[in-house]
A and B are shown apart, each in its own frame.
Chain A
Amino acid sequence: MTTSEKKPLDRQTMCSRLAMEFEDGWIANLGAGMPTLCSNYDFKDKDIIYQSENGLIGYGPLAKEGEEIPNLVNAGVQYVTLRPGSAIVHHADSFTVIRGGYVNVTVLGSYEVAENGDFANWKTPGRKGGGIGGAMDLAVGAQRVWIAMEHVTRDGKPRLLKRCALPVTAVGVVQRVVTDLGLFDVTPEGFLMREIAPGYTPEEVQAATEAKLIISPDLKPLKVT
Chain B
Amino acid sequence: MNEALLADLLAAAAGALEDAAPELNRLDAVAGDGDLGVTMTEVARIAREVLAAGAAGVPELLSALGAGIARGAPSTSGTLVATAFLRASRACGEGGEPTEVLARCFGAALDGVRARGKAEPGDRTLVDGLASVSASLEASAADGLAWQEALARAAEAARSTAQATAEMEPKKGRASWAPQRALGHPDAGCSMLAIVLSAAAARAGA
- Tell me, yes or no, whether A binds B: no
Q: Which residues of A contact B (CB under 8 A)?
A: none
